[in-house]
Amino acid sequence: MSQPPWLHPDRVALIQKGLAERIMILDGGMGTMLQTHKLDESGYRGERFAGGHDSAHDHGHDHPGECDLKGNNDLLLLTQPDIIRGVHEAYLEAGADFIETNTFNATRVSQADYHLEHLVPELNREGARIAREACDAMTARTPDRPRFVIGVLGPTSRTASISPDVNDPGFRNVSFEELKTNYIESARALIEGGADTIMVETIFDTLNAKAALFALSEMFHELGGRVPVMISGTITDRSGRTLSGQTAEAFFYSVEHIRPLSVGLNCALGAEDLRPHVQMLARIAGSAVSTHPNAGLPNAFGEYDETPESMAETIRGFAADGLINIVGGCCGTTPAHIAAIAAAVAPYPPRALKDIAQAA
């Protein structure tokens, strides 16, 4: 089956041009920045949910008053949008070319933990809209360097490959079809809100990712148009494998059929520990290669100690050895990390691609 045309060919051409010319910069950790605001339960609820229910939505079976909403970072798109916009703006000022939407858990499967499934379309549209506004404002200031919105599809809080019950290894708490339906709903709203690309990220279970990629393919044909797809897996520990047991090489071959704009790795590990796995991708991938590592490994308090300078110096080696096309940060990284990384990789050309147009 032939691929549908680009929904926004001019935007895709600008992304391809940027990738051909330089190493492009992804933003850093959203949760890390939100933690600095020290929001309490009322801060997460805002005015809209202050009364223990969604005052903007007449929905007979949602019960947000029955559980805490603190920690639902996606909800801040509706209750504290200025905070989210401020994080995006800080990363743009630090040098980011790509801004990820704050929609990591904006699927029905994940929002079910808060009884807020009905918000999923709104969360994704608003996530893309807020990021779009921030990127367009920065592009207006620097028209020779346009900025782009990545619509984020997170891994969800469930895994299709592994049983959550050690006593029943055949049990699954989510199906492929359920994940596909979740991802279609979220991705459609991200595109409606103005996302330039879709990133399936922090993939710890390749079967979840395959559901997302199948969902995107189906949705693109329904829409009669598509946007570039970015894929980023996560190596869960120093074993060098995803949670569902794949090496970086096996993971790549499991997802390359979608012809992604980029494939890469993020989260779980710091840059130094991720390097051999990024090297593997750089050897075999026909697409662009991305990485957005954590700021090292978490310490005993769950915090990240790697400084912007030390992280940037490690990533400088990635760039000097021609391993990457897109780089940013994940947990523990801040605008200071992104600014240091951007400066460190600026002197180096991007990893060579035979035909950048084929990578999308």
Q: Which residue has 């007449």 as its token pair?
A: 58
Tens digits of residue pLDDT in 270-325: 999 999 999 999 999 999 999 999 999 888 778 898 999 999 999 999 999 999 99
Residues found in the chain: 360
Task: Flag whether pLDDT at 335 surpasses 50.
Answer: yes
> What is the number of alpha carbons within 13 Å of residue 128 lying toward its C-beta?
24
What integer pLDDT is reported at residue 66 of this predicted model?
A: 67
Question: Taking residues 331-347, what's their average pLDDT?
Answer: 98
User: What is the pTM (predicted TM-score) of this model?
Assistant: 0.94
Confidence of residue 244 (pLDDT cuts 50, 70, 90): confident
Tens digits of residue pLDDT in 137-196: 999 999 999 999 999 999 998 998 888 877 888 888 889 999 999 999 999 999 999 999
Q: Is 41:68 a contact under the CB 8 Å cutoff?
A: yes
Task: Flag whether pLDDT at 124 surpasses 80.
Answer: yes
Question: Taking residues 15-20, what's their average pLDDT?
Answer: 97
What integer pLDDT is reported at residue 219 of this predicted model?
A: 98
What integer pLDDT is reported at residue 336 of this predicted model?
A: 98
> Where are the strands (E) in the chain, listed by range?
24-25, 98-100, 148-153, 197-203, 229-233, 262-270, 288-294, 326-327
Mean pLDDT score of the chain? 93
What integer pLDDT is reported at residue 58 of this predicted model?
A: 62
Output the six-digit token pair for 36: 């600095």
**3-state class (DSSP) for residue 245:** coil
Give the whole-angstrom CA distance, residue 276 versus residue 290: 13
User: Rg of the chain over CA atoms, in angstroms?
Assistant: 19
Task: Flag whether pLDDT at 221 surpasses 60.
Answer: yes
